[in-house]
Structure 1
Amino acid sequence: MELPQLVAQFVETQNANDSEAYTECFTKTAIVHDEGKTYTGKEEVRAWIEDANQRYRSVMKPLQYDESDSNGVLTAEVSGTFPGSPIVLKFHLKLKDGLIDVLNVTG
């Protein structure tokens, strides 16, 4: 599947469990919504993904990507060391200046 460069980088850095490179996909003021919690700014996003990487060691397998205007939805099978693995999640992306400004992860 052909993904836009930013989305491909987002997936690759997640699959490598590279929290630093993953965080570089986001704007300075990015907002992430995941598992009922909200993380604001690069430092909180980095802390969130570092914790998730340590606990779950998750890997994404893209299934579908849809984009309109500055919004995209990545549907991916996510596997890792969490109950119910693998699961299909949707990553709702709002893009700004070539980076992810808002990420909302849904089941």
Structure 2
Amino acid sequence: MSTARSGSCADEHLDDGRAHQHGLAQRGHRPGPGSKHQPQQQKDRAMQRDLPLPIAAYFAIHGRSSAGLDDLFAQDAVVKDEGHSYQGIAAIARWMDESSAKYDFTTRPVATETVDGATVVTCHVTGNFPGSPVDLRYRFQIDRDKIASLEIVP
């Protein structure tokens, strides 16, 4: 299972307003002072701010809705997940909608690196899918401020 959904942790990642540049509204709760999750959430926000804008915006909507994908993905973008390829906005939207309908899951970016010009984000994914929890690598290629390709692998 290589799909992941933004849950309460990911909802809080884009508090610097960058998600709004892609027309994405922030959702989720903000823990108050003294919350036991506050240090982890601060790390999560810092990591999210370091991601290129289309990648940060992708994690803000992934698993919720395919609305706004044409702001994030190039028209001929390709997503590879679980041995399947999805090319073009319509196919990627179907993949996202089917994944979010089939599974309830959360994703939390835990590491990022640049490999051969691609941004690779390692995420801890938990949910109601076989093999949960799992760490997955999301390999993004960006072209002209849009996601040109995404490959999700264990």
> Common fold, TM-score beyond 0.5?
yes
Q: What pairs up with 1:1-107 in 2 under 5 angstroms?
A: 1=47, 2-14=50-62, 17-22=64-69, 24-67=71-114, 70-107=117-154
How many percent identity over aligned positions?
27
Question: 4+ residue stretches of structure 1 with deviation over 4 A?
Answer: none
TM-score (norm 1): 0.88
Cα-Cα RMSD: 1.7
Give CA-to-partner distance per residue, 1:37-59, whole Å, 9 cap, x none: 11110000000010001111222
Aligned length: 106
Deviation, 1:80, is: 1.9
Q: 1:43 to 1:104 in 2, by over 3 A?
A: same
Q: TM-score, normalised by structure 2?
A: 0.63
- Unpaired segments ≥5 residues, structure 2: 1-46
Q: Which moved more, 1:35-44 or 1:60-69?
A: 60-69
- Which range is displaced more, 17-26 or 58-67? 17-26
Whole-Å separation in 1 of the counterparts to 2:147 and 2:105 = 20
Judge conservation of contact 1:76–1:88 (CA < 8 Å) in 2: yes
| Structure with greater strand percent | 1
Decide whether the 8 Å contact of 2:76 with 2:148 is kept in 1: yes
Distance 2:122 2:77 in 1: 20
**Alpha carbons of 1:40 and 1:50: their partners in 2 closer, same or farther (altered >3 Å)?**
same
Please, which runs of 5 or more residues in structure 1 have no aligned partner?
Answer: none
Does structure 2 conserve the Cα–Cα contact (< 8 Å) formed by 1:23 and 1:45?
A: no
